Amino acid sequence: MQKKIVDLLIIGGGPAGISAAIWAKRLGLNHLLLEAQTDLGGQLTDIHNKIIDYPGMMVENGLELQKHFKQHAKNIDFNFEIGKVVDSIDWDEKVLFTNKNTTYEFRSILVATGSSPRKLRVPGEQKLIDRNEVYSASRDKDKFKEKDVAVIGGGDRAFEGALLLAEAGANVSLIHRSEQFKARKEFKDPVIYHPNINVMTNTIVTEINGESRKQLTLSSNDSISTIAVDGVFIRIGVEPNTYLFKDGISLDDEGYIPCTSVGQTSLPYVYAAGDVCTRPLLSSIASSVGQGMTAVKCLSFYLND
């Protein structure tokens, strides 16, 4: 088993992790960024809309911004390894184990593992994922012209997706578990009054069956029904990727990492940045980048003390 020793381990290669690694390099820290995927960028490749709120850079989508981030990483030449999935962490010995039969001894950790789309956790959902039937409304809307689709959720992403699909000619069933929506008003009225959108409240999806044509089993006010659709868009929010850290640092009841204004967690040598400690309402690429910088600057004081 290969063993490496570093002062600072940065876990996650999205905007927060990349920013942290840039500053670790600038500050002369013995650092290493570990990314589970085969490339840097985190969830940037899942953004198919224009990005207009990152100062100094307006791009068509996340893939374009990822290219800029990767070039920046190359220019700075910080230390990183891709394809390294964290298996476990020995918090007492400060040792991290990965899927590549490599261990890393560390003095400090920055957690920047981001968030993932929340799952329904119902029968049939994983089969959709395994068939790569994970769609983007902005990218894939034309595939569903004159077809039936289900959008599940009640927030901005669900409403925006439903509207994009309906405007492209799809017949949309918007399914939400309650009568209250978290979506902004600018989305609500266009969706609720759109002729191609059927809003189904107090309804939950309990099962997904079928392949090319899916049958959703619905439960509403103690009655069971089914609808048939060609596509399913699950938009019920996100959840932080923090499961690996639950035995070492404190998490709140939703799995987020409580931390100070500079990112310090319940352990003095563990900091967090980005979506693992910031709920969606306050999250952005810009805020993640800033948090990564702040955390590493503070960790440098800890490491040099």
Choices 3.40.350.10, 3.30.420.10, 3.50.50.60, 3.50.50.100: CATH for 125-234: 3.50.50.60
Please return the burial class of 194, using the count of CB atoms within 10 Å of its CB with bins 0-12, 13-18 and 19+.
middle
CATH class belonging to 2-117+238-304: alpha beta
Evaluate whether 2-117+238-304 and 125-234 have a shared fold: yes
Residue with more model confidence, 255 or 46? 255
For the chain, which residues make up each domain, given as ranges?
2-117+238-304, 125-234
For the beta carbon of residue 266, count every other beta carbon within 10 angstroms. Answer: 12
Question: What confidence tens digit (pLDDT) does each residue in 10-45 have?
Answer: 999 999 999 999 999 999 999 999 999 999 999 999
- The pLDDT tens digits for 135-157 are 999 999 999 999 999 999 999 99
Q: 261 by DSSP, 3-state: which?
A: coil
pLDDT above 90: residue 281: no
The pLDDT assigned to 121 comes to 95
pLDDT tier, 1 (very low <50, low <70, confident <90, very high otherwise): confident
d(CA 191, CA 237): 18
Rg (CA), the chain: 21
Q: What pTM does this model have?
A: 0.90
pLDDT grade for 293, boundaries at 50, 70 and 90: very high
What is the tens place of the pLDDT at every residue in 168-177? 999 999 999 9
Name residues whose C-beta falls within 8 Å of residue 67's C-beta, 6 or more positions apart in sequence.
Answer: none
User: d(Cα 209, Cα 238) in Å, to the nearest integer?
Assistant: 24
In this prediction, residue 212 carries a pLDDT of: 83
Compute CA distances 264 → 35, 185, 258, 271, whole Å: 21, 36, 8, 4
Rounded average pLDDT over 57-79: 96
Cα distances (Å, whole numbers) of residue 83 to 37, 151, 165, 279, 292: 5, 32, 35, 27, 21
CA-CA distance, 25 to 8, in Å (whole number)? 11
Q: Looking at residue 41, what is its pLDDT?
A: 96
Query: What's the pLDDT band for 100 if we cut at 50, 70, 90?
Result: confident
Please tell me whether residue 134 adopts helix, strand or coil conformation. coil
User: Is pLDDT above 80 for 279?
Assistant: yes
Mean pLDDT of the chain: 95
Hey, which bits of 158-288 come out as E strands?
A: 171-175, 197-200, 203-209, 214-220, 223-229, 231-234, 238-240, 270-272
- Least confident residue range of 43-52, 84-93, 239-248, 292-301: 43-52
Supply the pLDDT for residue 2.
87
Tell me, rounded to whole angstroms, the distance of Cα 52 from its chain centroid.
19
* Confidence (pLDDT) at 96: 97
